[in-house]
Amino acid sequence: MGHKILGRDAYNVNFAMLMIMTAVEVGAVAASVQGAIVEEMVILILVTIGAIKFLGIAFVFMHLRFEEDSNILTLTALFPGVFILLMIVFIAITTPGAPDSLPAWCRF
């Protein structure tokens, strides 16, 4: 695995980027708790950094589909989505009146 970004190992660059962005997120939330910035600014910061983190992860790991073990990597990546879907379904069917209280855009 010799993938490089700016001459450095892609995984290490991605890790550093994620740590820096997480520190900025924590700083933004801490500043809002202190009253230094308003809630709308925190939301803007968190959504923007979330999008940047998503793009960073997607761009670095998109090459994994060409690896020999890409099937197991795909299954590993899909597991959380399947788990979340199952969790939503089971919460919906075990909560009395849950389907009736869903927003209109969720109901058929």
Show me where the domains of the chain are located. 1-66, 69-108
Q: 56 and 14 in contact (C-beta within 8 Å)?
A: yes
Q: What is the chain's mean pLDDT, rounded?
A: 79
pTM above 0.85, yes or no: no
Query: Which position has the higher pLDDT, 22 or 62?
Result: 22
Nearest in space to 28 (alpha carbons), one of 16, 48, 45: 45
- The most distant pair of C-alpha atoms in the chain lies apart, rounded to whole Å, by 56
Residue 24's pLDDT band, with cuts at 50, 70 and 90, is: very high
Say what the pLDDT of residue 57 is.
81
Q: Residue 99 and residue 108: Cα distance in Å, rounded?
A: 10
CB atoms within 10 A of CB 28: 20
pLDDT at 69 over 80: no
Q: Residue 24 and residue 26: Cα distance in Å, rounded?
A: 5
